[in-house]
């Protein structure tokens, strides 16, 4: 695999991971909305990130993660992906 292709894969994976992290941060907004708080724009952002992550997930699952260099070395990406799946029931 060429360095350019590995760079593209790293960039794509990190873009996915960034959206997944943002989704998890905005996820708390859903609980706030259930409590009657008016946080519509944050809720819409969470749904937007959720849709983007769902669209990217099948392609990301096919990647060999052993060679990917993450911008977020302290994030357990496997656990975060599983949390996403469990939350959406998929």
Do residues 30 and 43 make contact, with C-beta atoms less than 8 angstroms apart? yes
For residue 53, what pLDDT is reported? 95
Q: Which residues are CB-neighbours of 30 under 8 A, at least 6 positions away? A: 43, 46
For residue 17, what pLDDT is reported? 94
* pTM for this predicted structure: 0.75
How do residues 1-55 score in pLDDT, each as one tens digit?
Answer: 688 999 999 999 999 999 999 998 877 766 666 666 556 677 788 889 999 999 9
């Amino acid at each position: 695999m060429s360095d350019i292709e590995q760079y593209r894969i790293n960039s794509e994976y990190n873009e996915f991971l960034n959206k997944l992290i943002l989704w998890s941060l905005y996820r708390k907004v859903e609980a706030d909305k259930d409590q009657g708080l008016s946080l519509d724009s944050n809720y819409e952002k969470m749904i937007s990130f959720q849709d983007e992550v769902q669209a990217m997930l099948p392609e990301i699952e096919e990647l060999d993660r052993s060679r990917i260099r993450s911008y977020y070395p302290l994030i357990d990406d496997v656990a975060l992906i599983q949390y996403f799946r469990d939350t959406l029931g998929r």
